[in-house]
């Protein structure tokens, strides 16, 4: 999208798609689900919605039919745009089949637009429209709808600490401005640069730094459809060499994975085009930071650890922009962006002053990229983000302010875990598993995982007469995959007799976390447990499980 001809191609595609949507009755304000992997047509689908004032909700194409249906129902989508199939890391993904299953229960959906990513033919029903065929009949010109600065641009679902994902709403002017200025200044994007953000458009990073930020700046944006290991662990760097990428923006989980394959896959390719490297989605550990900086960046590129969230629209804390040549401390997000005023709060809701302190990370004044509401539930928006610390936006993360006044993110403070940079409420996994008839209760916690950053560990209670424990565990795994997504499936499922609960019946996940982190000698205050003897019981089950695991590996 670097040269005018390419720009025209994208505009042409966007307008034809926009006219197709209009022809089938999609109007300003309607919601449209996009269930597509990263491709030029997926970008055009987002922009086509924006052009006619429809609101897109991109659903990551790895989510199950049930997750997709939940999002379509919650947002009342009138149309879905998808592909016949997807292609990922050499595998074919049956996208249309998943959509068919999802829309069975979605009466609001009038049409499903189906594009062709492969040559396979798929079943086409009454409401299915072959997208490219229809686009070919449409004019390549479509006047953009005029919109108010505060009209909705898109919504994107993200996990919270309860079971139901939230439709985070971003609006026109503020979001676009914030995506554009952060893209320009955090990465030092210059006209003519090739910006390579390898995120999927199913997440906010793909929205802000694959699509909207780079395109608002008239930039060239790389679309990465593959995986870091396909066909081999040199894929990213081969792409950098081939496209002469200047800014490379990726996730710590991929860096951790790739560093295991050694330096040779990196060094095989010319990376002299690189100027800035970026990391996003989860805390980056020192080893990963150093490898990214020294090996990938040849110790000469600027490496920015960028902290932000679906709700913040764009990057809020990052080492750049800053004075020229200012220090970058490894594995630290460091400096608030223009207009961002971070505040750390103590347990009593008071602002913590001074340096070398830790607390709940809040932001003290609004900024253009801040989400405006949760679709259909403004009260939940207020309750989640603005109630705990009145007058402040609460991020859900904890942070440390160093003696120099720089910020380091310490992780989530709620029951949200971050698997390979993807946010997931443990309650969502629990809700899915609780549907198994043999499983009355579950508790899911995050635990440190070498590659994924965090993984899910499930404690389950079985009904007394349950035989075939292994089969139940297998069934639970497939329930989670089909109700949420494969990445949400717990790595460990441990059967226990009871869960540790307070006298008021609340599961004390803190105790489970300590057990799994092998810190059972430091459980903290367990006097509020209904029956403290339960700790020894779970510890015993956990030790046995660990012994079995190491025997079988």
Sites of contact with ligand AMP (CB under 6 A): 158, 203-204, 280-283, 305-307, 309-310, 333, 395-397, 409, 412, 418, 423
Q: Write the burial class of residue 26 (CB in 10 Å: 0-12 exposed, 13-18 middle, 19+ buried).
A: buried
Task: Output 65 or 417, the one with its CB closest to ligand AMP.
Answer: 417
Task: Output 372 or 423, the one with its CB closest to ligand AMP.
Answer: 423
Q: How far is the CB of 318 from ligand AMP (least distance, A)?
A: 8
Q: How far is the CB of 133 from ligand AMP (least distance, A)?
A: 36
- b (16+ CB within 10 A) / e for 248-286: bbbbbbbbbbbbeeeeebbeebebebbbbbbbbbbbbbe
Token pair recorded at residue 200: 């999927």
Closest chain position to ligand AMP (CB): 310
Q: How far is the CB of 371 from ligand AMP (least distance, A)?
A: 10
Q: How far is the CB of 251 from ligand AMP (least distance, A)?
A: 9
Q: In sequence order, which residues have a C-beta less than 8 Å from that of residue 40 and are 6 or more positions away?
A: 10, 13, 223
Helices (H), 187-329: 204-206, 213-216, 235-243, 252-259, 264-267, 286-291
The 3-state secondary structure of 162-192, one letter per residue: CCCCEEEEEEHHHHHHHHHHHHHHHCCCCCC
Task: Output 154 or 542, the one with its CB closest to ligand AMP.
Answer: 154
Q: How far is the CB of 421 from ligand AMP (least distance, A)?
A: 7
Which residues are bridge partners to 57 per DSSP?
A: 33
Say if CB 530 and CB 495 are below 8 A apart: no
Task: Output 98 or 253, the one with its CB closest to ligand AMP.
Answer: 253
Q: How far is the CB of 65 from ligand AMP (least distance, A)?
A: 22
Cα–Cα distance, 310 to 206 (Å, whole number): 11
Task: Output 168 or 494, the one with its CB closest to ligand AMP.
Answer: 168
Token pair recorded at residue 553: 């590996």
Strands (E), 346-435: 357-363, 373-374, 393-401, 407-412, 416-419, 422-425
- The answer to whether the bond into 301 is cis (omega within 30° of 0) is no
Nearest to 114 by CA among 73, 66, 142, 81: 81
Q: How far is the CB of 373 from ligand AMP (least distance, A)?
A: 16
Q: Which residue has the tokens 């709700």?
A: 311
Task: Output 281 or 369, the one with its CB closest to ligand AMP.
Answer: 281
The pairs formed by 264-271 with CB atoms below 8 angstroms and a separation of 24 or more are 265/232, 265/233, 265/234, 265/237, 266/234, 266/237, 266/295, 266/296, 267/295, 268/234, 268/237, 268/238, 269/234, 269/237, 269/238, 269/240, 269/241, 270/241, 271/237, 271/240, 271/241, 271/296, 271/297, 271/298
Q: How far is the CB of 386 from ligand AMP (least distance, A)?
A: 16
Q: How far is the CB of 303 from ligand AMP (least distance, A)?
A: 12
Q: How far is the CB of 307 from ligand AMP (least distance, A)?
A: 4
Task: Output 217 or 395, the one with its CB closest to ligand AMP.
Answer: 395
Task: Output 28 or 387, the one with its CB closest to ligand AMP.
Answer: 387
Which residues are bridge partners to 220 per DSSP?
A: 194
Cα distances (Å, whole numbers) of residue 65 to 106, 112, 348:
11, 14, 43
| Other beta carbons within 10 Å of 122 | 18
Say if CB 461 and CB 439 are below 8 A apart: yes
Cα–Cα distance, 462 to 14 (Å, whole number): 52
Task: Output 412 or 514, the one with its CB closest to ligand AMP.
Answer: 412
Task: Output 140 or 330, the one with its CB closest to ligand AMP.
Answer: 330
Q: How far is the CB of 344 from ligand AMP (least distance, A)?
A: 15
DSSP 151: S
Q: How far is the CB of 134 from ligand AMP (least distance, A)?
A: 34
Task: Output 18 or 424, the one with its CB closest to ligand AMP.
Answer: 424
Task: Output 22 or 207, the one with its CB closest to ligand AMP.
Answer: 207
């Amino acid at each position: 999208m670097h040269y005018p001809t390419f720009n025209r191609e994208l505009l042409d595609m966007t307008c034809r798609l926009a006219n197709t949507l209009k022809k089938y009755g999609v109007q300003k304000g309607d919601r449209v689900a996009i269930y597509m992997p990263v491709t030029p047509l997926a970008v055009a689908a987002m922009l086509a919605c924006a052009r006619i004032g429809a609101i897109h909700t991109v659903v990551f194409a790895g989510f199950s039919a049930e997750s997709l249906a939940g999002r379509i129902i919650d947002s009342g989508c009138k149309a879905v745009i998808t592909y016949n199939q997807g292609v990922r890391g050499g595998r074919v993904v049956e996208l249309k089949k998943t959509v068919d299953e999802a829309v069975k229960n979605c009466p609001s959906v009038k049409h499903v637009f189906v594009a062709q990513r492969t040559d396979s033919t798929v079943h086409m029903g009454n409401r299915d429209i072959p997208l490219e065929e229809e686009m070919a009949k449409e004019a390549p010109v479509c006047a953009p709808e005029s919109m108010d600065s505060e009209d909705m641009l898109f919504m994107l679902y993200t996990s919270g600490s309860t079971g139901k994902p939230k439709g985070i709403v971003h609006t026109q002017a503020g979001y676009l401005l914030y995506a554009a200025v952060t893209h320009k200044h955090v990465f030092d994007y210059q006209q003519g640069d090739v910006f390579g953000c390898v995120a999927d458009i199913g997440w906010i990073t793909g929205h802000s730094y694959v699509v909207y930020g780079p395109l608002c700046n008239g930039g060239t944006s790389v679309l990465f459809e593959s995986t870091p290991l396909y066909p081999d662990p040199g894929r990213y760097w081969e792409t950098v060499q081939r496209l002469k990428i200047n800014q490379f923006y990726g996730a710590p989980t991929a860096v951790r994975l790739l560093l295991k394959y050694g330096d040779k896959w990196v060094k095989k390719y010319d990376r002299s085009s690189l100027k800035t490297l970026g990391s996003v989605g989860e805390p980056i550990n020192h080893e990963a930071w150093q490898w990214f900086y020294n090996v990938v960046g040849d110790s000469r590129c600027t490496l920015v650890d960028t902290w932000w969230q679906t709700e913040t629209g764009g990057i809020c804390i990052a080492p750049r922009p800053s004075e020229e040549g200012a220090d970058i401390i490894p594995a630290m997000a460091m400096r608030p962006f223009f207009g961002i005023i971070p505040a750390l709060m103590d347990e009593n809701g008071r602002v913590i002053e001074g340096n070398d302190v830790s607390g709940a990370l809040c932001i003290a004044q609004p900024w253009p990229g801040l989400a405006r509401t949760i679709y259909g539930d403004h009260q939940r928006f207020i309750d989640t983000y603005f109630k705990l610390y009145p007058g402040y936006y609460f991020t859900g993360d904890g942070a440390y302010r160093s003696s120099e006044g720089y910020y380091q993110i310490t992780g989530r403070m709620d029951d949200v875990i971050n698997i390979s940079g993807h946010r997931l409420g443990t309650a969502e996994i629990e809700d899915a598993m609780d549907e198994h008839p043999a499983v009355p209760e579950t508790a899911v916690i995050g635990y440190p995982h070498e590659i994924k950053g965090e993984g899910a560990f499930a404690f389950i209670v079985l009904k007394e007469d349950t035989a075939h424990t292994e089969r139940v565990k297998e069934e639970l795994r497939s329930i989670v995959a089909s109700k949420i997504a494969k990445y949400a499936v717990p790595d460990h499922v441990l059967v226990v007799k009871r869960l540790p609960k307070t006298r008021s019946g609340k599961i004390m996940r803190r105790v489970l976390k300590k057990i799994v982190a092998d810190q059972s000698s430091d459980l903290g205050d367990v006097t509020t447990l209904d029956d403290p003897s339960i700790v020894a019981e779970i510890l015993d089950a956990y030790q046995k499980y660990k012994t079995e695991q190491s025997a079988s590996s």
